[in-house]
Amino acid sequence: MGGIKLEHWWIGMVVAGIAVLGSGAIAPDPRVTSAIGLGLLFLGIGEWMNHPSQTHIEPGFGGMWQFTGHPRQPTLVGNAFSFVGIVLLAGGAIRVGIALFQ
């Protein structure tokens, strides 16, 4: 795979979501950490689905040029995962905000 690059930020969201879910076992309110962790996980998976690897080959100066990237191509399932992730993240953030200002 060649390592995780900054352009693959959605993989970092998946890893962060798993880490937050794991830390929920020792959290005072596991529902909040579970909502935030699942939100990160779902959003990361959704964006991973929406950023498929693509290779484009075209003629150029001195031969053929190969371009590889991850442009966003929204899919129904990827957008659904992203939407659920955003809702869960927002719900967790609202619960944290309420707890902070009580």
Domain annotation covers residue 2: no
Q: Per residue in 1-45, pLDDT tens?
A: 456 566 788 889 999 999 999 998 888 888 889 999 999 999 999
Dist CA 21 CA 42 (whole Å): 12
Domain annotation covers residue 42: yes
Q: Per residue in 68-96, pLDDT tens?
A: 778 888 999 999 999 999 999 999 999 98
Domain annotation covers residue 68: no
User: What's the domain range around 93?
Assistant: 7-53+76-100
pLDDT of 59? 81
Closest of 44, 20, 39, 41 to residue 30, by C-alpha: 20
Dist CA 42 CA 92 (whole Å): 14
Q: How far apart are the first and last CA of the chain?
A: 47
Dist CA 59 CA 13 (whole Å): 36
Decide: helix, strand or coil at residue 101. Answer: coil
The upper half-sphere exposure of residue 48, i.e. CA atoms within 13 Å in the direction of its Cβ, equals 14
In the chain, % of residues over pLDDT 70 = 94
Domain annotation covers residue 43: yes
pLDDT of 28? 81
Which carries the bigger pLDDT value, residue 102 or residue 4? 102
Domain annotation covers residue 62: no
Domain count, the chain: 1
